[in-house]
Chains A and B, each alone.
Chain A
Amino acid sequence: MALPSSEEIIEDLAFFDDWEQRYQYIIDLGKALPRLQDEQKTPERLVKGCQSSVWLVTSVNEGKLHFDADSDAVIVHGLLALVMAAYNDKTPQQILDFDIDGYFEALDLERHISPTRGNGLRSIVGKIQTLAKQTA
């Protein structure tokens, strides 16, 4: 499947009433998010959490930011897909205006993006926001 938009994801996830379906959906979203090539996983792109690792590749196209991301854990990869859906191919201002915490709250996944989880997601969000600030 192609990666849905953040609005579609909120709608899709609201449709499921049990956690298994929700997690299956997140895992499937991860499958829709392209993996990085091994040579793209350089140390400077690595955000090492103490539980799992994520890599972030950034580029700018006609004033819009583009991100490719990967993780060694499939649920984290799925959560990355949620983040990509929110941020990808948006202008820096759109990125800065986006309420990422509200988004994860709407998805009922806020505990996965909290700074207390050592999965690197919070650092990825921080990196994207910093880049948006620098580019804006």
Chain B
Amino acid sequence: MSFDVQAVRAQFPILSQQVDGKPLIYLDNAATTQKPQAVIDALMSFYTQTNANVHRGAHKLSDEATRRYEKARDQVAAFINANSREEVIWTAGTTEGINLVAHGLAKQLEAGDEVVVTEMEHHANLVTWQQACIQSGATLRVAPIFDNGELDIETFQSYLGPNTRMVAFPHVSNALGTLNPVKDLVAMAKRYDALVLVDGAQGIAHGGVDVQDLGCDFYAFSGHKLFGPTGIGVLWGRRSVLEDWPVWMTGGEMIAEVSYQSASWGALPLRLEAGTPHIAGAIGLGAAVEWFGSLDLAAVQAHEKALIESAMLQARNIEGMRLIGTAPNKVGILSFVMDNAHPADIGFILDRQGVAIRTGDNCAQPLMNRLGINGTARASFSLYNTLDEVDAFFVALRKAQSMLA
């Protein structure tokens, strides 16, 4: 197999549109990815042919909806190489997955316990643990990064110890693009039997994730950053850990028996999925992993590497442009600041030229403070971006630079 970017682009209807009369150049993929026709079709087909609630209907539509919904769970389980389908918990997204784990952990933590995160966290993988520590009296330890955005692994390691209960870090940093050595970090944490959660929001779409191989206990990601719908995500958890993880939300679907005064919980995965789920979203995400998994992932990675390398190279020729995040292992994300031009202004002028980027604190205020900046402009690439688009981005950027001079 190989990778034909034009053939892939053709499957994304939104990419052929124009913005203010200029071809859309979508470089905000770390915020959300666009959706291929296969995902749009799956959503359309669900709502036009089989919409019904799942697991409880006494009719054909409900059976079919349940079948498609649970098939999506199988598709995700296969995609991430889960040990079993029961380890795949549907959530609203990465944030909810982390919250599910953090709320459960908060009930078990006590003073003296430690939770280790890194300086490069997105708010979703920081505030959750910070609050769990505040509630329980445990200590939050924040492992430092180097100025280039790479994790200081020696110090990270020195923060681990017999009191470490949870270690949480991103697979890929949303603000810097840093690709963390997940397996190594997990192995270090496991010497102390700490639980490990990997924030996979940015990691999941950049290549095959094998949760068994990574060795972590939890891997959380969002469907919408993986070519799927918004509002659906996955918390993968190791079965032995998930089985008696404290329930976070209670309600329908997740119970075994209920009386007016008491209730008992059902089995995985439903015990952690209270209420009517995002059925269409799950089916859409199933279609997305099926679609993504059918690509030659090594060729996809090579293509994405070519994009970021071209961008890093061209950035060197732009006077006054400073890259934020230059770790040697880096994927998909070009964060930068410019002398004499505020990121918001750059964003405005790129937008007028059809180029969509993110500007601001990247939901990582402590990281921005650590780096001594207020925010960045961030171009983030996905598999459907082309080298021509990278070039066009720099043409647009030079225009912004000259207008703002």
Contact = CB atoms under 8 A, between A and B. Distances in A.
B403 A51 contact: no
Main secondary structure of the interface of B (DSSP, over half): helix
A23 B342 contact: no
B214 to A, nearest CB: 32
A23 B349 CA distance: 8
* B345, B347, B349 pick with most chain A CB within 10 angstroms: B345
Sorting the interface of chain A by its residue count into under 10, 10 to 19, 20 to 34 or 35 or more gives 10 to 19
A19 B350 CA distance: 12
B348 A50 contact: no
A18 to B, nearest CB: 10
Interface stretch (A38-46, A68-76, A95-103, A124-132): A68-76
Contacts of B298: none
Contact of B345 (A19, A20, A74): A74
Contacts of B404: 27, 74
B361 interface: yes
Interface string A46-68: 00011111000000000000000
Contact of B403 (A20, A73, A76, A119): A20
Nearest to B377: A51
B374 A24 contact: no
Contacts of A119: 344
B370 interface: no
B319 interface: no
Contacts of B352: 19, 23
Interface string B320-364: 000000000000000000000011110111001000000111000
Interface of A: 19-20, 23-24, 27, 49-53, 72-76, 112, 118-119
14 contacts: A20-B403, A27-B403, A49-B344, A49-B360, A50-B360, A51-B343, A51-B360, A53-B374, A72-B344, A73-B348, A74-B404, A75-B349, A76-B344, A118-B360
Interface of B: 20, 342-345, 347-349, 352, 359-361, 374-375, 403-404
State the 9 A-B residue pairs at the shortest beta-carbon distance, nearest first.
A52-B344, A73-B342, A73-B344, A51-B360, A51-B344, A50-B360, A75-B348, A75-B345, A73-B345
Given A23-B352, A49-B344, A74-B404, 10 more contacts: A23-B349, A24-B403, A51-B344, A72-B342, A72-B344, A72-B374, A74-B342, A75-B349, A76-B344, A119-B344
